[in-house]
Amino acid sequence: MHSYIKRHKQSSASWDIPTLCAAYNWPTGLPGGGVIAIVELGGGWNSSDVAAAFASMSQPTPVIRDISVDGTVNAPGGDADGEVALDIQVAAASYFMATGSPATIYIYWAKDIATAVRAATADGCDVCSISWGADEAVWGVAAAVDMEAAAKAAANAGMVVLAASGDNDSSDGGPNPANVDVPASCPHVIGCGGTSKPHDGVETVWNNNPGQSTGEGTGGGYSTIFPTQAWQGLDPAGPSGRMVPDVSANADPMVGYEIVLNGQIEIVGGTSAVAPLYAGLFAALGKKLGFITPDLFLNPIGFNDITVGDNGAYTALPGPDPCTGLGSPVGTVIESIIAAKNKTS
């Protein structure tokens, strides 16, 4: 398993998190209340970075609780610290932008993602963000099916589960030009892909090596483990297998996210940023939303359709595609979609 974070040293085109949320039409004044679970397989965080990050955004610090699932603990000082910082800062800032209140975050430290998801489900968390994963071939069928079982149980208990789709274009770092990532390919996980969103101009598929399937860009494609999902409404004559991703947002490190790491501002990207961005929004929209992915596909107006670019094996097209799924968020419209769902459920 590895995390999905990409670093970039130039800051002229980067985004601070509140400004990016505003660019995606984040709703405001929501009651919130959802507890955000974040799965981490390594690294750590420290209170000084958290305090500095949220002071720079003029936001209160979130409430953070560390939970060791299997003896793994918060251990700052390694390469994965950037992943942990990104997850905390993006999820909590996203939540605050929608609610005006500090987020509550439980960090599940574990060696195994499915075990951590089960722990978060048992603790009653409302949203779970996962920025770690690997190609389906690395997982194997048995482990992938067990991951889906954990995600399905979580959804049935009311928890929304989100996972990054990968940062190595359509190959996902695997042996073929087209591979998808677990947990993102699990049907009860919302797979989160990446775009490149400049401050001005057209938002495109994130791929810093256009036309190549093994470069730096969003993962996406069709599962060889999980079948086609009817709720995605895809052409039955098209490729078989569950399509990944479902949704997307900015992930390009060239126009990346400003975070605080080791007391310094760093510019980072990767689909690692997308899962916590949506996690903060969904936690703000309410508690126990459950399996909302079919509702999102029934209402594509909640997303900016991305029709320019490719991730190697696949090219963006009008409508859902295996580059960016439904597209990037239109926050206020997603709010209305979830509100309508809650009225009828």
Q: Is the pLDDT of residue 72 over 70?
A: yes
pLDDT in tens, 6-20: 666 555 699 999 999
pLDDT surpasses 90 at 41: yes
Inter-residue contact 334 to 21 (CB < 8 Å): no
> What are the tens digits of pLDDT across the range 146-173?
999 999 999 999 999 999 999 999 998 8
Q: Is the pLDDT of residue 238 over 90?
A: no
CA distances from 57 to 11, 30, 113, 259, 261 (A): 16, 19, 31, 10, 14
pLDDT of residue 165: 97
Residue 11 carries which DSSP code? -
Unique residue bearing structure tokens 């968390």: 125
Name the band, by pLDDT with cuts 50, 70 and 90, for residue 99. Answer: very high
- The mean pLDDT of the chain is 95
* DSSP strand pairing (160-164 vs 6-8): unpaired
pLDDT at 11: 57
| Active-site residue list | 83, 87, 272
| Distances from the Cα of 26 to the Cα of 66, 75, 197, 214, angstroms | 28, 33, 16, 33
Does the pTM surpass 0.85? The reply is yes
Q: Are strands 303-304 and 328-329 parallel, antiparallel or unpaired?
A: antiparallel
**Could you give the CA distance from residue 256 to residue 47 in angstroms, rounded to a whole number?**
23
Q: Which of 19-23, 245-249, 265-269 has the lowest mean pLDDT?
A: 265-269
CATH label, 2-344, candidates 3.40.50.410, 3.40.50.20, 3.40.50.200, 1.10.10.410: 3.40.50.200
For residues 150 and 134, what is the distance between their CA atoms, to the nearest angstrom? 17
DSSP 104: E
Q: Which pLDDT band holds residue 209 (cuts at 50, 70, 90)?
A: confident
User: Does residue 141 register a pLDDT over 60?
Assistant: yes
Domain regions of the chain by residue span: 2-344
Q: What percent of the chain has pLDDT over 70?
A: 96
d(CA 158, CA 99): 20
